[in-house]
Structure 1
Amino acid sequence: MVDARNREDDAVRTASALSRYCMHLLAFAPNLLPGHSSESESMLDRTLDEASQLLKKAKTLESRYEELMRNNSTQHDSDADGDHEASIVKQGARLARRLIVDIPETKLRWKVLSDFWAEMMLYVSPSDDVRAHLEALARGGEFITHIWALLTHAGVLKRGPAGPKDVV
């Protein structure tokens, strides 16, 4: 029988691994992601620059967390809806705070994150760039390429809500 602690550990491992894998894709295989790879690369560069500036004085993981929460605490959530120009780092800090406030139970929070990253993988997998995925498969394949192949085989060719026009 699987106990609650093992399920929480599984959710932590799943969320962490998939989150890190998406970062790997952004950094090293943006051509396997939706949209043009230059957009992904540009977004990653801007985000890394913003994070570097925001966290330049923070040396430990704990001090980085504190700086993000402190920087984020000056904005109210009602401001977030109208703040279309907020950096990805600040939006991420807002989301982290909302998760912590709205889901105080750690096990449930990790389950939500695990489910989110699993769904994100399914969302980003359908691709029009067949060549990039075929080239990746020839080298053994990226995880996302195997998901792409399975989804393509199942007729899931587009992202978004499932409907008759999305399935061949």
Structure 2
Amino acid sequence: MKCFSTLHWSIEGEFDECILVWHLATDLCYNTDLNKKSSLAKNSNREASKLLSDYMVYLLVKRPLMLPPGIGQIRFRDSCAKAAKIFQTVKDRNIQACTRLLLQVNTEIPPLKAKGDGSKSVLLDACRLAKSLQSLESEKWNNEKKWEMMSHVWVEMLCYAACHCPRNEHAKELTQGGELLTHVWLLMAHFGITEHVCQD
């Protein structure tokens, strides 16, 4: 997709960082779009993106050994701490108020300068990505097209994670019924697409 070249920065970091940036941006877009009258209709790509986003963060936090090595739990903790600091300034802490506040965060400041204290938070990058994704709608894209692209990103992340999960972790999961990630890996292997998708 042509516009994705402008968002390429969001998938160039470490895998756990990309998951968190996209998860937070997906949440921001999801909550913003639920408040739009035009977005009240059921959108399967929006719902799929939200579910995959939540699942990938579940793996990052609860099943980190199933993902490529990284510092995802540290990034998650620091991003939560940064969000909590921002939300302290909001009297009304409902989802809509918090979403509006995050989308007003100044993303012009490079994240390294804004962090300053060695924080591994990805919150500023996520706000920047969410703003970019929301602006796609004003650039000849409709809401449906935006969510279609976002769901493709999440499916690619899921497939990448399935291929890069250590096989012993997949085996462990199979003894307990199997994680979705393991079932995806098995399906990919069955259809002979693991080599194509799993190349770095």
TM-score (norm 2): 0.64
| Residue in structure 1 matched with residue 32 of structure 2 by the alignment | none
| CA distance in 1 between partners of 2:150 and 2:127 (Å) | 15
| Residue in structure 1 matched with residue 88 of structure 2 by the alignment | 56
Larger Rg belongs to: 1
| CA distance in 2 between partners of 1:40 and 1:90 (Å) | 16
| CA distance in 1 between partners of 2:198 and 2:73 (Å) | 21
| CA distance in 2 between partners of 1:35 and 1:132 (Å) | 13
| Residue in structure 2 matched with residue 11 of structure 1 by the alignment | 45
| CA distance in 2 between partners of 1:25 and 1:88 (Å) | 17
* Alignment counterpart, residue 150 of structure 1, candidates 178, 187, 190: 187
Which stretches of structure 1, 4 residues or longer, exceed 6 Å deviation after superposition?
Answer: none
Deviation larger for 14-23 or 43-52: 43-52
Deviation larger for 54-63 or 107-116: 54-63
How many residues align structurally?
148
The amino acid across from 2:166 in the alignment is D
1:1-168 aligned at under 5 Å gives the runs 9-36=43-70, 39-58=71-90, 59-72=93-106, 75-76=107-108, 80=110, 83-84=111-112, 87-104=121-138, 105-127=142-164, 129-152=166-189, 154=192, 156=194, 159-160=198-199
| CA distance in 2 between partners of 1:140 and 1:125 (Å) | 16
Distance 1:26 1:43, change over 3 A: same
Q: Is the contact made by 1:8 and 1:110 (CA closer than 8 Å) also made in structure 2?
A: no
C-alpha displacement of 1:159: 3.7
The unaligned stretches of length 5 or more in structure 1 are 162-168
The amino acid across from 1:52 in the alignment is A
Deviation larger for 138-147 or 123-132: 123-132
Q: Is the contact made by 1:8 and 1:111 (CA closer than 8 Å) also made in structure 2?
A: no
- Secondary structure of the residue that 1:103 maps to in structure 2? helix
C-alpha displacement of 1:48: 1.6
C-alpha displacement of 1:150: 3.3
Q: Is the contact made by 1:34 and 1:124 (CA closer than 8 Å) also made in structure 2?
A: yes
What RMSD in Å do the two structures reach over aligned CA positions? 2.5
C-alpha displacement of 1:152: 4.5
| CA distance in 2 between partners of 1:23 and 1:41 (Å) | 10
Query: Identity, % of aligned pairs?
Result: 22
The amino acid across from 1:97 in the alignment is K
Q: Is the contact made by 1:126 and 1:152 (CA closer than 8 Å) also made in structure 2?
A: no
Q: Is the contact made by 1:12 and 1:110 (CA closer than 8 Å) also made in structure 2?
A: yes
| CA distance in 2 between partners of 1:30 and 1:23 (Å) | 9
